[in-house]
Amino acid sequence: MNIRPRLRAIADLVPHSQNIADIGTDHGYLPLYLLQWGRIPNAIAADVSAGSLKKASALIEQNNMSHVIETRLGNGLSVLSAGEVDTIVIAGMGGVLISEILQQGEKVARSASTLILQPMIGQEELRRWLIQNQYRIQDEDLVKESNRIYEIIVAVPDEEVKEYENEIYYEIGLSWITKKHPLLREWLEKKIRGLKDLIKGLEKGQIDVVAARLREAQEKLRQYEEVDSCHIK
């Protein structure tokens, strides 16, 4: 089975030979792909939606994988017990929802060795939540699919983790800078363009609220341009 680049990039981050749970599996593409390529011995594919899980079960059966992929219906991590899996994947949801799932299933989340998270929005909020809740961001990736760049975060429990001194790193993944990620320049340029457009729009307004928002956006633009010019030449 072939999967699209976003899911493929998530799959590439799953450590070999580990038991995984894919929370919010929808069609079940990710566990199926990992099993078919022999990357993992078995998997739990879970979803809160009975309709999604039905689709996943049908595809799993069709691919003769029912003996190694178990489907479970339920909310977030409530379908797992602590220590049951090494790796938890939560992909294709908002960052705030992902953090709520981790918060509600705290014992289970903390018992896993690796969390692979792919927030569609709310990436900053998720990074902040992870670090404030003793998870270290071990790795981050960017992947382009259909002209959109997606962010992936790999987090591990770590009680010693420290908050970032520079706030901008809750938005701009530090791992992308460290490993000079080939998509970082394009990702930054998109963000910088968005901020410039926002500033232009705000500059046309006159009221005080707009002025405060304008200063905020200008400061953010300065930080983005600093990262762009200092770190990825």
Where does this chain touch ligand SAM (CB under 6 A) — which range of 18-26, 107-115, 184-192, 224-232?
18-26
CB-nearer residue toward ligand SAM: 39 or 196: 39
Judged by CB under 6 A, how many residues of this single chain contact ligand SAM?
Answer: 15
Residue 62 engages ligand SAM in binding (rule: CB under 6 A): no
Q: In 3D, which of 128, 129, 76, 136 has the Cα closest to residue 107?
A: 76
C-alpha 75/C-alpha 72 separation (Å) is: 10
C-alpha 86/C-alpha 21 separation (Å) is: 8
Question: Could you give the strand order of the β-sheet that contains 20-23, starting from the edge strand earlier in sequence?
Answer: 69-73, 43-47, 20-23, 87-93, 114-119, 148-157, 135-145
Where does this chain touch ligand SAM (CB under 6 A) — which range of 17-25, 142-150, 162-170, 196-204?
17-25
**In the range 81-140, which residues lie near ligand SAM by CB under 6 A?**
91-93, 101
C-alpha 73/C-alpha 79 separation (Å) is: 7
Residue from 44, 71, 76, 143 in contact with ligand SAM (CB under 6 A): 76
CB-nearer residue toward ligand SAM: 47 or 139: 47
Q: For residues 36 and 3, is the Cβ–Cβ distance under 8 A?
A: no
Residue 143: CB minimum distance to ligand SAM, A: 12
Residue 173: CB minimum distance to ligand SAM, A: 18
C-alpha 19/C-alpha 40 separation (Å) is: 7
Where does this chain touch ligand SAM (CB under 6 A) — which range of 12-20, 42-50, 182-190, 205-213?
42-50
* Helix H or strand E segment including 188: helix 184-204
Q: Footprint of ligand SAM on this chain (CB under 6 A)?
A: 7, 23-26, 47-49, 52, 75-76, 91-93, 101
